[in-house]
Amino acid sequence: MASAPSGGPLIGPIAGVTICTPDLAASEAAYVGHLRYRVTRRGVIDAGQATLWQRPAVAGARYVALSPEAADDFEFRLVEGDAPARGYRAFAHYGWNAAELIVQDVDALAARLAGSPFQIIGAPQDLSFAEDIRAMQLRGPAGEIIYLTQFKREVAGLPAPPARCPIDRVFIMILTGPSLDGLLDFYGRRFAIPQPQRMQSRVKVMSEVFGLSPEERYQIAAVPVRGRCYIEADQMPPAARPPDSPPDALPPGIAIVSFRHHGSGGPACISGAAGELIELLPGE
């Protein structure tokens, strides 16, 4: 296992989420008009960035970066690409499958988002294991899954960042793979994260994809990183497979997750145990 500096794991907080979208304008309009994110920059992916990601075919693709209305420490990066047009469906494949945002009032947001480009696939409800956490689920224009989560009060053992505006930053990323052991071992060894507690939990959106009962239970664990952020690692059914995308292009949907890295070296991009792309940015 890597040796962590004082203060905890070698990664965190979550600094960004890159989404590959077939319609950049539509995705931008949805995030700005309905999640109230604001544009911070736009342009094209240069050859250096594409090389860092080990995805040379992405050079020249248009992108837009968006941040919450009250903060600059997190961004969604929407990159135009055709991968989602090839039949992408979240939770059908290994990798990054959902982004969870901290919000102030999930019921008010449900009313506001009704009829928006974000399809509500899970109405607000209290979590079965923590009634002080209330959440809903959305499907975005690129097929990405977004969770909106409200903490009614602090929950012991699960510290979360405060919601500084109605819809704030991503604080949990949902990662799926063929083996929970494999996911936990990778993040433990690579980023000095102690083994978290495992549990059995329903993941209804995944059960729906595989035609399983909504009461099906999966092995999951919340992997803590810095900044009160987490990676929720979920073990997938045996029928799941790696994403079907060209090796030199971005994966469909949620393509890359960026973390602050508290080790040596500059920016880097590596592949995780399930083939997920992990961008490492110098820590702050």
Quote the CA–CA distance of 13 and 225 in Å, as a whole number: 6
What local confidence, expressed as pLDDT, does residue 7 receive? Answer: 59
Res 245: pLDDT = 79
Taking the domain 11-282, which CATH number applies?
Answer: 3.10.180.10
**pLDDT on residue 155:** 85
**pLDDT at residue number 130:** 76
| pLDDT, position 129 | 73
Local structure of residue 224 (DSSP, 8 states): E
Q: Residue 26 contacts by C-beta under 8 Å, 6 or more apart in sequence?
A: 117, 141
CA–CA dist 39, 199 (Å, integer):
38
Domain boundaries, the chain: 11-282
Residue 60 backbone class (left: φ over 0; alpha: ψ -120 to 50; beta: rest): left
Report pLDDT for 225: 97
Whether the ω angle into residue 13 lies within 30 degrees of 0, i.e. cis, is yes
- 157 backbone φψ class: left, alpha, beta (φ>0; ψ -120 to 50): left
In the three-class reduction of DSSP (H, G, I as helix; E, B as strand; rest coil), residue 105 is classed as: coil
In the structure encoding, which two tokens stand for residue 163, read together? 């919601």
Report the candidate in 160, 159, 158, 135 with the shortest Cα–Cα distance to residue 148. Answer: 135
Residue 85 DSSP label: G
- Residue 110 · residue 124 · CB < 8 Å: yes
Q: Tens-of-pLDDT digits for all 284 residues of the chain?
A: 454 445 589 999 999 999 999 999 999 999 999 999 999 999 999 999 999 999 999 999 999 999 999 999 999 999 999 755 457 899 999 999 999 999 999 999 999 999 999 999 999 999 877 789 999 999 999 999 999 999 998 888 889 999 999 999 999 999 999 999 999 999 999 999 999 999 998 899 999 999 999 999 999 999 999 999 999 999 999 999 988 778 889 999 999 999 999 988 899 999 999 999 999 999 87
Name residues whose C-beta falls within 8 Å of residue 181's C-beta, 6 or more positions apart in sequence: none
Q: What is the pLDDT of residue 86?
A: 59
Work out the number of other CB atoms within 10 angstroms of the CB of residue 43.
Answer: 9
Separation between Cα atoms, residue 125 and residue 267, nearest integer Å: 39
First to last CA, the chain: 23
